[in-house]
Amino acid sequence: MASAGCRRIGRRVALVVGVVGAGFGGLYLVGLFVADDTVPAGARVSGVDIGGLSTAQARERLDSGLGKTWSEPVKVRLGDSDGTVRVSGISLDTEETLARAAQPGADPFTVIGRLFANGDREVEPVIRVDTVKARASLAEEAKSYDRKAREGAVRFKVGEPVLVRPVTGRSLDVDGAVERLAEEIPGQGAGPVRLPVRTTEPQVGAAEVERAMEEFAIPAMSAPVTLTVNGRKIEIGPAALGKHLAMKPDGDKPLAPVLDGEGLLVEPSVASALALALDEPANAELSVHGGRVAVASDGRTGQDVTAVGLKKAVLPLLTKSGAARTGAVGVKEVEPTLTRDNLGRLGITEQMSTFTVDFEPDAYRVTNIGRAAELINGSVVQPDGIWSFNRTVGERTEANGFVEGVIINNDRYEKAAGGGVSAVATTVFNALFFAGVKPVEYGAHSFYIERYPEGREATVAWGSLDLKFRNDSGNTIYIDARATNTSVTITFLGTKRYDEIESVKGPRTSVKQPTTREGASGESCVPQTPLEGFNVSVDRLFKDGGRTVRTENFETRYDPRDEVTCD
């Protein structure tokens, strides 16, 4: 009996379980059927309600509500400022997000639970990130945001100290920004997306700049400093000082004064004042007797101020005031380049070449040619050194001893300071030609002048055309220059590298006839006789032992010299 009762109870329990199981299975099937094409009620993705919508409807709502989130400029915060950036490579993965919202394949209790759920359920969106594209677009945006740190500094401008305030450097953390934008959904009422940035603080801050201004820069520019050289006073003003003064980090002091002694030494106002206070060394003067070089008169030692000495004298005075801004600068003795003792060691043993150009004895020619010869005479050119006519003679001005004369400009004669100096240039050119040294820069006259050798002449113009040669003879060269009222002679002394230098000129070619034109009216007009233009070739032959061992060619083109008449 007991066992029969138990079986009945068992059957009843089985029946109840069977009924419940059938109901549960039915609800599960209904839940699966409903979930097959419908997003569960209450589902929201970053504020976008897709609950109860079909998959197609939910897709459309997500695409319109969130799909364009990164295609438009995104509001961001970079440090303390707000702005917008354009981002590529970050987008909503709509299909994966819908799959997460629908949760297919969930356990039966979850599926059945959806049938009776009526509360909101937030679904995390699935974000797709193309790291390469995202980094590239943000790196491009960073160009307008990033800035380098600027150190605090003190500069000097036209004799006044100028404070340069420090600036903090900043840069967008591109990798961190990609991660932040992928984590947050921009524009969903949460304000701008804060992107990570890096900052770089300058080493020289505002406090150090202000200290440097007060302790050094302002006193330094407050007044001139005065130097005494050989009993002569030289004043250097703030404008000249400031051009060669700086403040730079130095050891324990972030900003310390730095004076460019070499730059200050060649500053025109300083250099000219020192030239008056110091004696230049003078080379020994040479002469030639029987083709051999001899000392005509001894030179003398000179004086000089070094860049180090000038810097040492000036720097301590800059923070002082009144009479204390005066100090002495030391000088050193300077030996001349050429002395009686070193003449033989320098290799100046014989005459290498000499050349003379005759000219009409006009007053301006006598003055200008004589002055140029005076400035050239005694030039010493070391082996492999370059000699320059313009550097040696200087600008042809009244202050430099030159007067107005006739020059060639734009294929016609004109009046200007230094007229006639081309006669000296031509003489130097021929002397270097027959000495066998290398011309570096030279130019012929635009049209031919009859008193000069065809294809073997040169002209000069301050600031545009120079006459230069390199001393490739292997020994020192001494240039002797002498002028009379009708001629100028240039002689190169040194050691010959070749037995003989010969010039061979070819015939005139490409001849072109001149025309006639009127000159400018007034006293500036200079009449001009006509002469044909032509090409000419000159060979320089280097000879040793009676045979040619080397040949150089010089090609020259002369324009026609038009006839110019003056009213």
pLDDT in tens, 148-180: 999 999 999 999 999 999 999 999 999 998 888
Give the per-residue pLDDT at 518.
Answer: 73
Give the number of other Cβ atoms within 10 Å of residue 473's Cβ.
Answer: 22
pLDDT grade for 411, boundaries at 50, 70 and 90: low
pLDDT band for 6, please (50, 70, 90 cuts).
Answer: very low
Categorize the per-residue pLDDT at 190 as very low, low, confident or very high, splitting at 50, 70 and 90: low
Whole-structure pTM value: 0.57
Give start and end residues of each alpha helix (H) in 67-161.
94-102, 108-116, 131-145
Question: Residue 101 has what pLDDT?
Answer: 82
More confident: 432 or 290 = 432
More confident residue, 124 or 29: 124
Lowest mean pLDDT among 21-30, 294-303, 409-418, 431-440: 21-30
Ranges of H-type helices in 387-525: 389-393, 422-435
Distance, in Å, from the CA atom of 549 to the CA atom of 541, rounded to the nearest integer, reads 8
Across 134-160, b (16+ Cβ under 10 Å) vs e yields bbebbeebbeebeeebebbbbebeebe
- Sequence-distant (6+) residues with CB within 8 A of 331 are 229, 230, 278, 303, 304, 305, 309
**Helix, coil or strand: residue 310:** helix
Q: What H or E segment, with its residue span, contains residue 28?
A: helix 2-35
The SS3 call for residue 295 is: strand
